[in-house]
Amino acid sequence: MTVVLTPGAATLDELHHIWASGAPAVLAPSAHPQIEAAAALVAKAAADDVAIYGVNTGFGKLASVKIAAEDTAKLQRNLILSHCCGVGDPLDLATTRLMMVLKLLSLGRGASGIALETAALIERMLECDVVPVIPSQGSVGASGDLAPLAHMAATMIGEGEAHFAGERMSSRQALGKAGLAPIILGPKEGLALINGTQFSTACALVGLWGAWQNAAACVVTAALSTDAIMGSTAPLQDAIHTLRGHAGQIAVARAQRALMTGSEIRESHRDGDTRVQDPYCIRCQPQVTGAAMDLLHAAGRTLEVEANAVTDNPLVLVEQGLIVSGGNFHAEPVGFAADQIAVAISEIGAIAQRRVALMVDPTLSFDLPPFLTPDPGLNSGLMIAEVTTAALMSENKHLANPCTTDSTPTSANQEDHVSMAAHAARRLVRMNANLNVILGVEAICAAQGIAFRAPLQTSDPLRRVINVLRREVPEISDDCYMAPLIEAAAAMVAGGALTGAVDLPDFVKGHAE
């Protein structure tokens, strides 16, 4: 079903639905008058002799070059073609569609000066499944995501390549097969299409949603691990966390406590437990993952604002009758949000990996067999699965280094400070995939550890999680070819199968605060 978007008021839930389902999107009709008013103001300016950046001048360092009225259409076409400098693997189709939706939202605010027909073409492309091929590298995240968005605009003018119904072909062929025609860009339209943060924002949103899935899964796997090592639930008492006051910490402790309620394993050592304190990876789970969730909520607020923002240049201020240059294309807010998400992903993985290491280490795992195998020595068990998690944890630590501090001047020093938001956002998919594996291995280890506690049983919610895991990953008694089991567990984390087996609060799932 087509999603009707109100510019300035789109929600993360709406955008997630479009991304996950592939639903088409259109602007609410209430946006049309403002779009047309801005286009009229640009048309009037284009007929005037006064130099206005992007309407009748060159671009960037060439802004002082005045363009003749008869060349303004060619100016916009040249802009698109010359900026199609993207390289690298193509962006996946779902994220590309999200980028198009974000551009549609920005144009729908009526401050970009594009014709209503231009916005309508994006709507029709979404409806007819015409998706531009967008190379993933080439943006520094200032003056907008110029190269990626130029490739999107190129499809709209019949240049470059696109997918139609999943098949890659020339843009002109894709449009034709869909019953659509390329457009001729009017004054400022090319600039309006390529200025903006929509590539970086789309990639950051996808990274955010993946991070939320991992953060929720981490609460589940941590509860499993706590029972596997016969850890204490005393540190989960609500009073401890409300005294500190951080929303994420409070929510994680409550969720984990609910998951473990009724565990026979826990009850078996509640009295007479000689351990005063568990290691931090068990005892401080709410403090670490909760803090990561607070970061994700903050990043989500930033990205929701950005998704509704006008980020091209110059801006058409209809009420004032002005076309003015500014700097909304600078993607620093997106870069900061993506850096926050990266740190959260890294830290969730860091503490989860320590729980894996705890469970396989016979000196620390509280009577569990070495490497969680019933016949250690002949079998290596989960020894190297833990090593894999260590490798991916370390890789994520490197990837979590901030990108926004890495500015470099471009465009003959006209763009002398850039955000690197595209770099910051693109790495998140890789980081989330690494974390999927870490948490998948933790689930395997914890389920294996809980099995060794028989006849004692874990709680009902955690038994449901283990039952779901066992559909793809059997209990491991003898050494076997491990890679497919790890892959299957990681896919269950990524797809939400483990978290879907239990009830988690909205805050933990990232839907609401």
Cβ-count burial of 327 within 10 angstroms (0-12 exposed, 13-18 middle, 19+ buried)?
exposed
The set of residues, in sequence order, having a beta carbon less than 8 Å from that of 189 and lying 6+ positions away, is 76, 113, 114, 115, 118
Is the distance from CB of 30 to CB of 24 less than 8 angstroms? no
Q: Per the structure block, which two tokens stand in for 214?
A: 């991992």
Q: Per the structure block, which two tokens stand in for 205?
A: 């949103």
The set of residues, in sequence order, having a beta carbon less than 8 Å from that of 497 and lying 6+ positions away, is 468
Residue with tokens 């993360």: 12
Q: Per the structure block, which two tokens stand in for 362?
A: 């016979």
Return the DSSP state at 196: S
Does residue 190 come out as left (phi exceeding 0), alpha (psi in the -120 to 50 range) or beta? alpha
Q: Per the structure block, which two tokens stand in for 42?
A: 């640009």
Q: Per the structure block, which two tokens stand in for 350?
A: 């860091």
Residue with tokens 């006209």: 414
- Mapped onto helix, strand or coil, the DSSP state of residue 474 is coil
Residue 143 φ/ψ, nearest 5 degrees: 60, 20
Neighbours of 256 (CB within 10 A): 24
How far is Cα 512 from Cα 456, in angstroms, rounded to an integer?
36
Neighbours of 339 (CB within 10 A): 25
Query: Which residues is 163 bridged to in the sheet?
Result: 131, 168
Nearest Cα to Cα of residue 439 among 281, 283, 256, 220: 220
Measured CA to CA in angstroms, residue 53 lies from 26, 76, 318, 324, 342 at distances of: 29, 12, 17, 8, 37
Q: How many helices (H) and strands (E) does the chain have?
A: 20, 9
Is the distance from CB of 142 to CB of 330 less than 8 angstroms? yes
- For the chain, the 3-state helix, strand and coil shares in percent, each to the nearest 5, are 60, 5, 35
Measured CA to CA in angstroms, residue 49 lies from 64, 67, 76 at distances of: 14, 10, 18
Return the DSSP state at 84: -
Q: Which residues are catalytic?
A: 53
Return the DSSP state at 379: B
Q: What angle do CA 35, 40, 41 make, to 5 degrees?
A: 100
